[in-house]
Amino acid sequence: MQKYPTATRVYPEIPLAQTVVRLCEDMGIQQIVISPGSRNAPLTKGFTSHDFFETFSLIDERAAAFFALGLAQQKRKPVAVVCTSGSALLNYYPAVAEAFYSDIPLVIISADRLPHRIDIGDGQTIRQTEVFEPHLEDAGYLIPDVTHATQTLLASPKQTLLPPSASEAAIQKKQQQIQEDNEAVIHRVLQTAITKQGPVHLNVPLEEPLYGTTEVALDLRAIAPAAKMPFSTNLKPFFQQWAKTKRKLVLVGVLAPNALNDEIIAHLADDPSVLFLVEKTSNINHHHCIDAIDTLIAPIEQQEALLAALQPELLVTFGGMVVSKKVKAFLRNHPPKHHWHIDEKKAYDTYYTLSDFIGCSPLHFFSALLKEQQEYTISDYHQLGFTQYTRHRLAGIDYLKKIPFSDLKAFELIFNRLPKQGQLQLANSSTIRYAQLFALPKALEVYCNRGTSGIDGSTATAMGAAWNKTLPTLLITGDLSFFYDANGLWHNYIRQDFRIVLINNSGGGIFRILPGEKDTPDYDRYFETVHHRTAKQLCKDHNIRYTSAHSVWGVKRALAGFFRPSNRAKLLEIFTPRIENDTVVLNYFSSMNTNPKKEK
């Protein structure tokens, strides 16, 4: 859509639409993802008519919301999504829930019919207020203007905004109050998205005519931003407890790159009293960290003496959701005496032993700890855990040399050839779990939608995230995740340096690892969902260069030039055998067992 020069800027004729657009500008919300529609036309025209905004057009609302989530994931600043009225809004919900649990600032702006037109049989109307309420940081259900389409409003016997005989002075007075109330609500909601780093919703009722514009700017009130409350908790008792504790387990989930500096990471990794467990999504990489948690725990699940020796006195967690079910089971069955969670926003009692929520950033906490204490606590805790982990890891490396072509082998081949820099986006289910097992280049940033851990939206999120990066992006995904999110490719924002590696094992292979009867008609249809689809036609439809591989040699050959610059995006589809994958990965952990007599 045409963008007008600033000197001749036009605004939506409807006051409420202009107010939403201009307050987004005032609050620095620059990236706007729009799905086409009629009811949201005033918002669309407002956003696309000013060069301050960077606007995107995605037809599928579910993909649009995940694309916006990817944009916001990278900038850590609010990104808005705009849709028309009716069921369009409901398609945002998966991304809203993901944003809520991943602490990503997403601003939902939905056009709506006026309240008196809901539930009377008009088309494209649903009850849009409170549809996301359990998964929002804030919401604003705005009041319609009474100076726009006034005669249409007064003609309705069901409206309650104005009395039928309202004078012009009464209408203007009512509009002034509506304007003040809407401005206050919009500002509060947008400010919440910024300060609480989560999803918010603005519902915007708009009456026809919808396409009118004006060069007259409303006189909006200046509202001061809310001041951030300073952190005031006394940390010294925590530092004293830290110093005297000999078995400290530090566990890190999803964390933005560079959330901790190298000095802090090295201090924790080298502390003899600390076992430092990090997931790939923590973006922490140090040779004394245990970054394949299941490699430590899975082989010794039946060895109670070893598990008891690894039981921490103090558990310190920070970052978002943790992938490993093994470490959750271990800490629930062998609970620490104390559990601290460090975060500016919230703490989950994941391990049923949460004793303290320390409401600051991990960087603040550990920077203060290093200033207070330079001496390490004497302990053999790190050595015990890291020695066991190293033994398992080396056994796993030997096992990988012997296995047939499979999912596990494909991931080994991929991770041995990853680019040294850039962004790695991982889909959920099998993909993120296999990725946990292999080493990563230190400068490679890792992301995954672990808030709800759903397979929906992985491709669209990666596409949005790639748009806000200067370095190339690689998405590794499974077949069900990829095909489920096929509309994540349906837009004009696919970068030439975007790469997709698709592991196609003809179904939901992770279900073969879980307990349950396998290889029956019902299992194949309703659990594993066996299929014979390929990505070749999708790549042709979206101008993506397609390559496939069916063997170790084929994968090596395809990866040899896969990351080289090109004039369009590339996808490598790796076909792995459906039946063998579960046995290969389960035997991977069995091969590490240091006490075979107790293996079950």
Nearest to 81 by CA among 73, 92, 90, 97: 92
pLDDT computed for residue 222 by the predictor: 81
Instruction: Measure Cα distances from 578 to 67, 432, 511, 524, 537 in Å.
Output: 31, 18, 11, 11, 22
Find out whether 299 and 589 touch, Cβ atoms under 8 Å: yes
Whether residue 3 is predicted with pLDDT greater than 50 in this model: the reply is: no
Q: What is the pLDDT of residues 436-482, one digit of tens each?
A: 999 999 999 999 999 999 999 999 999 999 999 999 999 999 999 99
What is the mean pLDDT of the segment spanning 150-174?
Answer: 95
Residues 6+ apart with CB under 8 A from 309: 384
The pTM for the full model equals 0.94
pLDDT at 510: 59
Mean pLDDT estimate for the chain: 93
Percentage, residues of the chain above pLDDT 70: 94
The per-residue pLDDT for 490 is: 97
CA 58, CA 262: separation in Å to the nearest integer?
Answer: 39
Segments in 27-60 forming alpha helices (H): 41-48
Q: For residue 597, what are the contacts with CB-CB under 8 A and spacing of at least 6?
A: none
Q: Can you list the domains of the chain with their CATH numbers?
A: 6-213 (3.40.50.970), 236-387 (3.40.50.1220), 405-579 (3.40.50.970)
CA distance 600 to 514: 16
| Whole-number pLDDT of residue 95 | 98
Report the distance separating Cα 46 and Cα 226, nearest Å: 26
Is residue 272 predicted with pLDDT exceeding 80?
yes
- In this model, does residue 4 exceed pLDDT 90? no
pLDDT given for residue 317 in this prediction: 98
Flag whether pLDDT at 529 surpasses 80: no
Query: Measured in Å, how far apart are the chain's first and last C-alpha atoms?
Result: 64
**Residue whose pair of structure tokens reads 């040399």 in the numeric block:** 401
Query: Which band of pLDDT confidence, cut at 50, 70 and 90, is reported for residue 224?
Result: confident
| Per-residue pLDDT tens over the stretch 342-381 | 999 999 999 999 999 999 999 999 999 999 887 899 999 9
Q: For residue range 377-432, list pLDDT tens digits in order.
A: 999 999 999 999 999 999 999 999 999 999 999 999 999 999 999 999 999 989 99
Measuring CA to CA, how many Å separate 556 from each of 32, 57, 564?
Answer: 40, 37, 14
Identify whether the C-beta of residue 416 lies closer than 8 Å to the C-beta of residue 308.
no
Residues 476, 248: Cα–Cα separation, whole Å: 34
* pLDDT reported for residue 599: 39
Rounded Cα–Cα distance for residues 512 and 502 (Å) = 19
pLDDT above 50: residue 600: no
Alpha helices in 232-359 (DSSP H): 236-244, 262-270, 293-297, 304-310, 325-333
pLDDT on residue 1? 38
Is residue 33 scored above 90 in pLDDT?
yes
- φ/ψ (deg, to 5) at 12: -60, 140
pLDDT value for 458: 97
In percent, the amount of the chain with pLDDT more than 90 equals 87
Asked if 581 and 512 touch (Cβ cutoff 8 Å), the reply is yes
- Specify the pLDDT at position 537: 97
Cα–Cα distance measured from residue 162 to residue 167, given in angstroms and rounded to the nearest whole number: 10
How far is it, in rounded angstroms, from Cα 178 to Cα 146?
A: 8
CB burial of 55-77 (b: ≥16 within 10 Å; e: otherwise) equals bbbbebbbbbbbbbbbbbbbeeb
Q: Give the mean pLDDT of 503-523.
A: 67
